[in-house]
Amino acid sequence: MVVREDAIRRADGSDGIYGVVDKPTFALVIPADGDRLHLVEQFRYPVGKRAWEFVQGTAPERADVDPAVLAARELREETGLRAESMVDIGGLDLAPGLTSQQGRVYLATGLTEGPPQREVEEQDMRTAWFTRAEFERMVREGVITDAQTLAAYTLLLLRER
């Protein structure tokens, strides 16, 4: 990532500084099997807690990788799952007041299991299947708080309408 401060001129003509975190495009994957959704859980250092979320990640060393290729790789690395179908269901701006990072959300179906191929940072990762009712209960109870996961689930619900 790159952290920068830009000198800006506001609409009223006054000067200011805008801090920006530049990060590469991320891919987020919703692995779905009927009524079940596959989530990963890992420790998130910036918030100091473990978090359940959908598979997501960026290419190493800011590489420019097609988001669909990145999505398949992240799914395989984090969960060991491989998808027969990977459908792009929308885009997300991570936190547009802070970072330039954007991402694509994919729905993965026709899943087959295999061994995960996790990176060293993911060694504490756990994975599990949850029904949609369990997922929504976890959201209501504040167990799932990851903004990208919540936004991706909204894209899934809108797609299904």
Interval 125-160: pLDDT, tens: 999 999 999 999 999 999 999 999 999 999 999 999
Tell me how many domains the chain contains: 1
- Confirm whether 48 is domain-assigned: yes
Region 103-130: mean pLDDT is 93
Question: Global pTM?
Answer: 0.91
Give yes or no: 122 in active site: yes
Query: Annotated catalytic residue: which of 122, 134, 136, 160?
Result: 122
- Confirm whether 113 is domain-assigned: yes
- Confirm whether 12 is domain-assigned: no
- Confirm whether 57 is domain-assigned: yes
- What is the residue type of 57? G
pLDDT of residue 64: 77
- Confirm whether 43 is domain-assigned: yes
- Confirm whether 16 is domain-assigned: no
pLDDT of residue 61: 65
pLDDT of residue 4: 94
Q: Is 80 exceeded by the pLDDT of residue 60?
A: no
- Confirm whether 152 is domain-assigned: yes
Structural domain boundaries, residue 85: 23-160
CATH number of 141's domain: 3.90.79.10
- Confirm whether 61 is domain-assigned: yes
**HEC sequence for 58-126:** ECHHHCCCCHHHHHHHHHHHHHCCEEEEEEEEEEEECCCCCECCEEEEEEEEEEECCCCCCCHHHCCCE
Q: Is 70 exceeded by the pLDDT of residue 63?
A: no
Interval 2-19: pLDDT, tens: 999 999 999 999 999 999
